[in-house]
Structure 1
């Protein structure tokens, strides 16, 4: 009798397994389809300040697209989903920390604003962001001829934006800095409130065309400031997919020479490089103690000789 009961239980167990088989398979298939497939994952990038009319911002987008294509991953790029009003870098930082409407921005390395973001340790200008020129009025342009050293420069007053990384760097190097709103600084220079306005080698020519229609200002010829700084991408904390893919892509386009070629060809950078190559300027070097160790190492590692 015991053997009969055992056999019955065995048969029942086998039947139960056979009946449950398709059900378990369906569950497994459902779970499989619900799991993200890395091969089909689209990296959605929401870039701050996406303005194709500005050559400088267009360059950032061009670098981003070139790097992401080099990864072979699927991606999309669109602007931040915020109201169509002027948005400060500080506001973009807050939006990117949250990650809902923005998840990527570019700004100067060493900024205290970005400490809460995930930095991608790669300088998008290959060190070129550290080259600065001085915008002058008629009086200071004449006096600039005698500037040869940092001590010479300390005798002048230099305009710079409120809270800018450049402002902190110049102050730390003992320079007399007058701070103001970006647009107001052009008028302040014309009014001789200070002697020079420190500008990026990529920015100065275009700014003169836009903000000096009456030709009261000029770039000091044959004089360049340099301090180790550049623009970096910063993303939302926890967005490892963006950080890892973008860093991989940036390294690839650096190794392949595609990034250097973009710098040679892009409308925002080609004239600046030609200027540095052709003039053999006096170069005054400033220290920058605001970089994180990761930012400093990246600027030292990924470099382009801007004078060749």
Structure 2
């Protein structure tokens, strides 16, 4: 009888310990920030869902937000299905109702009213530029060795682009027009070269030069410190803090480098640049904010290695 009572007391004790453990676990879950955290709703300004460069931005965003450990959702801006400029998207992000995040070039005066997430999503690769040329200017490009040599030519660039102001500040001659017109103007010899990102040039030639009137100037790269950054709506500290935390984590664990090496918009560029030693002409860029400049210096890689 004594043994039966002792066994019963032991069972009760075990059940009490188990119950207390379950209550403690439930309490811990209830107090956990992750359990109580609201879902961060990200409304990304995207110009073209079929554009591989836009897809890269989305891939970086999703990878970083997963790494942050915060619950989140990502969708495109709910705006009318019409052509929307970067400037218009910046206005929408500033308002924060339909859009609350955009990826665009650092140093733009348009983004001064937004909250910068200080991390270059191409690890400095956005600062490397190539020149598109027509048949005549392609031959004459062989003589270019220095910035002074480049100043004897005229370069096409977009109206209001950060790149345009950077080149003008470096005393380069610039012909301005809208994005698509510049391809036709180069074919017509209205200027000598069209300054493009290393991630844009090849696909643009395939799309806008099917008759192969243009080509990339070989073994020549322009460089000025810049890149693409994410910018969010004022007051959205939740987006800023979670995204920056995630970006730093995928930089430390090399997940971002792995994405660069595998993503369709960056893989071939990375492979093409590794091991090459092109003529590199460096330009100064005084358009960056101190935060943007520091971020580019902190998170960058050598694209030629």
Using the size of structure 2 for normalisation, the TM-score is 0.88
Pairing 1:75–2:83 present = no
Q: Structure 2 regions of 5+ residues with no counterpart? A: 1-29
Q: Are the aligned partners of 1:227 and 1:285 in contact in 2 as well (CA < 8 Å)?
A: yes
Matches of 2:35 and 2:230, distance apart in 1: 23
Q: How many residues align?
A: 274
Paired position in structure 1 for 2:120 = 123
Paired position in structure 1 for 2:53 = 56
Q: Are the aligned partners of 1:260 and 1:304 in contact in 2 as well (CA < 8 Å)?
A: no
Report the Cα offset of residue 273 of structure 1: 1.4
Name the stretch that deviates more: 126-135 or 51-60: 51-60
Pairing 1:108–2:105 present = yes
Q: Are the aligned partners of 1:50 and 1:79 in contact in 2 as well (CA < 8 Å)?
A: no
Within the candidate set 32, 42, 45, 2:42 is matched to: 45
Paired position in structure 1 for 2:165 = 168
Paired position in structure 2 for 1:178 = 175
Matches of 1:304 and 1:265, distance apart in 2: 16
- The C-alpha deviation readout for 1:184-217, integer Å capped at 9, x for no partner, is 0000000000000000000000000000011100
- SS of 1:183's partner is helix
- SS of 1:216's partner is coil
Q: Are the aligned partners of 2:47 and 2:84 in contact in 1 as well (CA < 8 Å)?
A: no
Pairing 1:289–2:293 present = no
1:179-218 to structure 2, matched below 5 A, reads 179-218=176-215
Within the candidate set 235, 239, 255, 1:238 is matched to: 235
- Structure 1: 4+ residue segments shifted above 3 A: none
Q: Which has the larger radius of gyration?
A: 1
Q: Structure 1 regions of 5+ residues with no counterpart? A: 1-32
- SS of 2:43's partner is strand
- SS of 1:279's partner is coil
Alignment RMSD, CA only?
A: 1.3
Matches of 1:265 and 1:252, distance apart in 2: 18
Within the candidate set 135, 140, 143, 2:137 is matched to: 140
Report the Cα offset of residue 50 of structure 1: 6.0
Within the candidate set 290, 300, 305, 1:303 is matched to: 300
